[in-house]
Amino acid sequence: MGKNDIDSRTKRSLLRTMVRIREFEDSVGEMHLRGLTAGSMLHLSVGEEAIAAGIGLAMQEGDVFTTHHRGHGIFIARGGEMNRMMAEIFGKSDGYCRGKGGSMHIADVHYGHLGANAIVGGNIAIAMGGGFTQNYRKTSNVSVAFFGDGALNQGVLYESMNMAALWDLPVMFAVVNNQYGMGTRIDRASASQEFVKRGESFGLRSLQVDGMDVEAVYQGANRLFEHSRSGKGPTFFICDAYRFYGHGRKDPSPYREKNEEKKWWDRDPIPAYKDTLISADLISDADYQEDLDAAKAEVADAVEFAKNSQVPEENDLYTYVYVDPIDASGTIG
Amino acid sequence: MSVMMYREALRLALYEEMKRDDRVFLAGEDVGSYGGAYAVSRGLIQEFGSERLVGTPISEAAIIGMGIGAAMTGLRPVVELMYIDFVGLAMDQIANQAAKFRYMSGGQLKIPMVMRMQGGTGRSAGAQHSQSLEAWLVHIPGLRVVMPASARDARGLLKTAIRSDDPVVFIEHKGLYAKKEEVPEEEELVPFGKARIARSGSDVTLITYSRMVYTALEAAEEASAGGIDVEVIDLRTLNPLDYHTIEKSVRKTGTVVVAYEAHRNVGMGSEISARIGEELMDVLKHPVVRIGGKDVPIPATVLEKYSIPQKQDLLEGIEQAAGR
């Protein structure tokens, strides 16, 4: 087997991870429509599973990351527990953030998740700081900033890319390019779409791949991580995909052409990859069915867990504002 | 006790904390071989090297963001914005990221980071290099805001800030860097949320902070010559704010002047005045007198001094409050 070949076990993991994300996201969308999720905002990553699985499985223990607001899938690929994720999305006390974060702010220190972020581009410099620590401590770990094409025109991205390159920080700037920043198509937002050149001009090892092809993403991520882990500095990874739902779950995307949607939906990364693995005799139909059933059961459990979890109480409002809540208020104030 | 300048006291705190804990580093524009715009970190790079005295590009958002990520992953960054006027470039990172991630993550993430910046007038540096923007930051839950007036507090509060597990905005005053005062030889940590009685008095409570403390002390001396005994409170930290000390003093004097260099409109003194009015009305002999900077951009010329409260303004405020 060549250096860049993927073993059959990993291939099945890539498929299984995508299936788990799809099942989770479809269920979250359904729960949102039924009014069971907290808050009015819900952003699904359906259609982007190959990016989450491909990069997520190329990461290692000790690596850290931050995501944008459409980050459920990425966290599942990094080990996120569906029970606690679903509970957080439901706004319950057993959620990752005890109901204080919701869908857009899930974080988990244990798995290196330094937080999902609802400010477009707001998470990027934080991931760069994670890379600063890896470098400061001379580890071989990496830090990944996941963000959408909508962040490609935020200034803080370029401040962070420059700093990471200046100090050879082990940071991947990973673009989940789903073609739309909310309702604005990428060509209406970016004067040039030669994004690889943007990365290269800052001195980053840069690569663009088909984000519907999970193996292309996985192999690309491995190559780029190897670059960073060996001390050669940051990378810029653009993965082209499509957001199968609208901006939010309830957005019918009137700004998109139906034939454009159909073209991308026909390229759904999951059935295509399943067929590839089955026709290559790497997995059987029964294997796939087993993984699908397990994913459905895992998601159903998560929904039950979330439904049964407690709603936060009013007293919880004031916890975790500070590590050290100094009381200086006296009888006034 | 040894006598040292405010900037030397800050440098001593940085030195002591970096010696004590190798997770502490300083990052900012020209903090390395240049030694900082106001020479606070001068010489530290020889001691700690460029790995821990990190000179950055002029990229305020990324400087703060880098600090947040480094703090979340176990380091204890001190990041520097050369002037508080540049805070707008980094406000998302400060207000939306640093201040909120502990809360949003349900207590999982902590951000032990100090954001040093420097403000105030006194060098005719113009409207974009002279502001006192603490109210922008005190408004945001999740941040601590510290504004030392004395060299002793500069050292003791910076050490406390570096050891705090919460994000701290540490605002120095450009007009104080060369001011010399006594600083103890031994280690001293000044706690957050404890105001300092800079001068005891029984007739009027004068509440202030940062460089205005010195103007207040001068005004208090003049007032005492006229028979008004003024108590000057140096708040030291604006979040947490020491309402214990304020209340105790106001109950004693029944008369309050609040003075601050920032624009008067919606400034720190507005909040303090409101709280006293709401909750200590029964002991007030006179409405709270609030003295702040003029509500104009700060001019770069001789006009600068007219834009911020002077000793005479404070003296008049004291007399007004005392019913003279």
Task: Closest CB to A115: pick one of B66, B109, B141.
Answer: B109
**Of B183, B197, B193, the residue nearest B153 (C-alpha):** B183
Residues facing A148 on adjacent strands:
A176
The one-character DSSP state at A62 is T
A35 touches chain B (CB under 8 A): no
How distant, in Å, are the alpha carbons of A71, A143, A260, B130, B323 from that of A183? 18, 29, 14, 41, 63
- To the nearest whole angstrom, how far is the Cα of A157 from the nearest Cα of chain B? 8
Partner-chain residue, chosen from B106, B110, B278, that has the shortest CB–CB distance to A97: B106
CA nearest to B94 within chain A: A122
CB A233 within 8 A of CB A203: yes
Length of chain A: 333
Instruction: Tell me the C-alpha distance between B147 and A90, whole Å.
Output: 41
Beta-bridge mates of residue B232:
B199, B206
Chain A interface, mutation test: which of B23, B51, B93, B103, most A Cβ atoms within 10 Å? B103
Nearest to B145 by CA among B119, B124, B106: B119
Q: Is B74 on the interface with A (CB under 8 A)?
A: yes
Among B residues 147-186, those touching chain A with beta carbons less than 8 Å apart: 164-166
d(CA B130, CA B118): 9
Is A139 near chain B, with CB under 8 Å?
no
CB pair distance less than 8 Å for A125 and B65: yes
Question: Percentage of residues in chain A with pLDDT exceeding 70?
Answer: 97
A303 CA to centre of own chain? 21
Of the candidates B8, B29, B129, B304, the residue annotated as catalytic is: B129
Kindly state the average pLDDT of the residues A158-172. 98
| Cα atoms in the Cβ-side hemisphere of radius 13 Å centred on A303 | 18
In this prediction, residue A331 carries a pLDDT of: 53
Contacting residues of B for A124, CB less than 8 Å apart: 65
Q: 10 Å Cβ neighbour count for A216?
A: 16
Judged by CB atoms closer than 8 Å, whether chains meet at B62 and A117 is answered as no
- The answer to whether B68 faces chain A, any CB pair under 8 Å, is yes
Tokens representing residue A245 in the block = 């739902």
Q: At what angle do helices A269-279 and A8-33 cross, to 10 degrees?
A: 150
User: Could you give the residue range(s) of every CATH 3.40.50.920 domain in chain B?
Assistant: 196-321
Residue range(s) in chain B whose domain bears CATH number 3.40.50.970? 2-183
A87 neighbors A309 (Cβ within 8 angstroms):
yes
Spatial CA neighbour of A27 closest among A321, A330, A298: A298
> Smallest Cβ distance to A326: which of B70, B93, B192?
B192
CA atoms of A104 and A117, how far apart (whole Å): 6
Q: Which CATH architecture has domain B2-183?
A: 3-Layer(aba) Sandwich (3.40)
pLDDT in tens, A263-322: 999 999 999 999 999 999 999 999 999 999 999 999 999 999 999 999 999 999 999 999
Q: What domains are there in chain A, each with its CATH number?
A: 8-318 (3.40.50.970)
Interface of A with B in 93-112 (CB under 8 A): 95-101, 105, 107-109
Q: In the prediction, which pLDDT does B324 show?
A: 85
Torsion of CA A167, B74, B45, B16, to 10 degrees: 180
pLDDT of residue B169: 98
Question: What is the pLDDT at residue B156?
Answer: 98
Asked whether the beta carbons of B53 and B78 are under 8 A apart, the reply is: no
Per-window interface: A 191-230 vs B, CB < 8 A: none
- Tens of pLDDT, residue by residue over A89-146, are 999 999 999 999 999 999 999 999 999 999 999 999 999 999 999 999 999 999 999 9
Separation CA B100–CA A122 (nearest Å): 12
Residues of chain A contacting residue B62, judged by C-beta atoms under 8 Å apart: 125, 128, 156, 159-160, 162-163
Query: Percent of chain B at pLDDT above 90?
Result: 99
Mean pLDDT over B126-137 rounds to: 97
Distances B72 to A114, B97, B111, B190 between C-alpha atoms, Å: 7, 11, 5, 25
A126 touches B at CB < 8 Å: yes
Binning pLDDT at 50, 70 and 90, where does residue A327 land?
Answer: confident
CB-nearest to A160 from B62, B101, B104 is: B62
Each residue of A220-263: pLDDT tens digit? 999 999 999 999 999 999 999 999 999 999 999 999 999 999 99
Q: How far apart are CA B196 and CA A198, in angstroms?
A: 53
Predicted confidence (pLDDT) per residue in B173-231, tens digit: 999 999 999 999 999 999 999 999 999 999 999 999 999 999 999 999 999 999 999 99
Residues B265-305: pLDDT tens digits?
999 999 999 999 999 999 999 999 999 999 999 999 999 99
What does pLDDT average to over chain B?
97
Which residue carries 């440098």 as its tokens?
B11
Query: What are residue B146's phi and psi, to 5 degrees?
Result: -125, 135
Residue B287, judged by CB atoms within 10 A of its CB (0-12, 13-18, 19+), counts as middle
Reply yes or no on whether the pLDDT at A1 is more than 60: no
DSSP summary character for residue B96: I
Q: In this complex, do B68 and A122 lie within 8 Å of one another by their Cβ atoms?
A: no
Per annotation, catalytic residue among B17, B60, B134, B304: B60
Kindly report the nearest CA distance between residue B117 and chain A, in angstroms. 19
CB A323: neighbour CB atoms within 10 A? 14
On chain A, the residues whose CB falls within 8 A of the CB of B71 are 129
Distance from CA of A278 to the nearest CA of B (A): 41
Q: A39 pLDDT band (50/70/90 cuts)?
A: confident
Subunit contact A332:B71, Cβ cutoff 8 A: no
Taking a contact as any Cβ pair under 8 Å apart, which residues of chain A between 228 and 247 contact chain B? none
* pLDDT at res. A333: 46
ipTM > 0.90 for the complex:
yes
CB A29 within 8 A of CB A44: yes
Which residues does B295 contact at the CB level (< 8 Å), separation at least 6? B263, B264, B265
B283 touches chain A (CB under 8 A): no
B17 is catalytic: no
- Chain A residues within 8 A of B144 when measuring between CB atoms: 322
Q: Cα B13 vs. chain centroid, distance in angstroms?
A: 16
Test mutation, B60, B72, B241, chain A, max A CBs within 10 A = B72
Give domain B196-321's CATH architecture.
Answer: 3-Layer(aba) Sandwich (3.40)
Asked if pLDDT for residue A332 goes beyond 70, the answer is: no
Residue A3, pLDDT above cutoff 70: no
Which chain A residues are Cβ-neighbours of B283 within 8 angstroms? none
Interface contacts (A, B; CB < 8 Å): 178
**Nearest by CB: B247 against A99, A124, A331:** A331
**3-class SS at A246?**
coil
* pLDDT number for residue A40: 86
Chain A residues whose CB is inside 8 A of the B61 CB are 125, 155-156, 159
Phi, psi of B26 (to 5 degrees): -115, 130
* Interface list for B 15-54 with A (CB within 8 A): 25, 51
Closest Cβ opposite residue B73 in set A130, A162, A166: A130
Residue A2 above 70 pLDDT? Answer: no
Average pLDDT for chain A: 96
Please judge whether B93 and A122 are an interchain contact, meaning their C-beta atoms are less than 8 angstroms apart: yes
User: Quick check: is B129 catalytic?
Assistant: yes
Query: Whole-angstrom Cα distance, residue A37 to residue A43?
Result: 12
State the Cα–Cα distance between residues A174 and A64, nearest whole angstrom.
13
Q: With 0.95 as the threshold, say if the pTM is over it.
A: yes
- Residue A166 in this model has a pLDDT that exceeds 80: yes
Q: Are residues B266 and B135 in contact, defined by beta-carbon separation less than 8 angstroms? A: yes
Angstrom distance (rounded) from CA B62 to CA B54: 13
